[in-house]
Amino acid sequence: MPEGDTVFRAAADLRAALAGQPLTRSDFRVPRYATADLSGQTVTEVVPRGKHLLVRTDAGLSVHTHLKMEGRWRVRPAAERLRESYRIRLVLANQDWQAVGYDLGITEILRTDREDEVTGHLGPDLLGPDWDAAEAARRLREDPDRPAGEALLDQRNLAGIGNVYKSEILFLRGIRPWRPVGKIRDVDGLADLAHRMLDANKDRVERVTTGVPRRGQQVWVYGREGQPCRRCGTRIHKAELGDRVTYWCPSCQPD
């Protein structure tokens, strides 16, 4: 599931392939931009912002994409024949490489000086140069009655957390997902753990929160409904929280 660490790695891959080179092809497979052509423009930067990704060009334009639930980027040699798929939303290529975006939830072009229109609402970026744990904690505390699980997923509080990290962070802090933020003693510690966890995984292909990279042992609770807690043996529970599901251990995360 794409979260801030996934976008961070995708940005690094796109930056290595595209930055500093003029585009020889841009193929937008979304109706609004079907006729757009950025060929000849040089990619100057590729910037991750929470779960958003921005490819900037020397023409003052930014290609804004968001992976949502199923999106992904793949970089291939430019000479390699592209296997066509209805899932492709965007192709950006230069003489050496082609970057292919699949199932992108958002694909659009905007002026670089107007990027704040799509990212200005975001809180401190957990993997960005603007990370500010104190500001993230302050934003979380602004709504003391809100369940912790919902507050962590709100990108206006801190940008980059998705459902996996939300479940894992709350487990490690011993906080049941429905506990109001106002009843959490150490909100600063919660924000700090979120930063440390994403930072530890930003260069990994497979996410690890337990410290054990072996397949099947990487996470504490996410996706483990009905299985025994790795700490206490209690069966992991799963339930809806807002419009998402959450996982928790009833014993390690008491009311």
**What is the pairing mode between strands 52-57 and 97-102?**
unpaired
How far apart are the C-alpha atoms of 209 and 69, rounded to whole Å? 20
DSSP 87: T
The residues near 232 (Cβ < 8 Å, ≥ 6 apart) are 249, 251, 252
How far apart are the C-alpha atoms of 113 and 37, rounded to whole Å? 20
Terminal Cα-to-Cα distance of the chain (whole angstroms): 28
How far apart are the C-alpha atoms of 65 and 70, rounded to whole Å? 13
φ/ψ (deg, to 5) at 182: -65, -15
Pair of tokens at residue 217 = 């042992």
How far apart are the C-alpha atoms of 145 and 166, rounded to whole Å? 18
Helix (H) or strand (E) holding 13: helix 4-18
Report the catalytic residues.
2-3, 51, 244
- State the residue for tokens 């106002």: 182
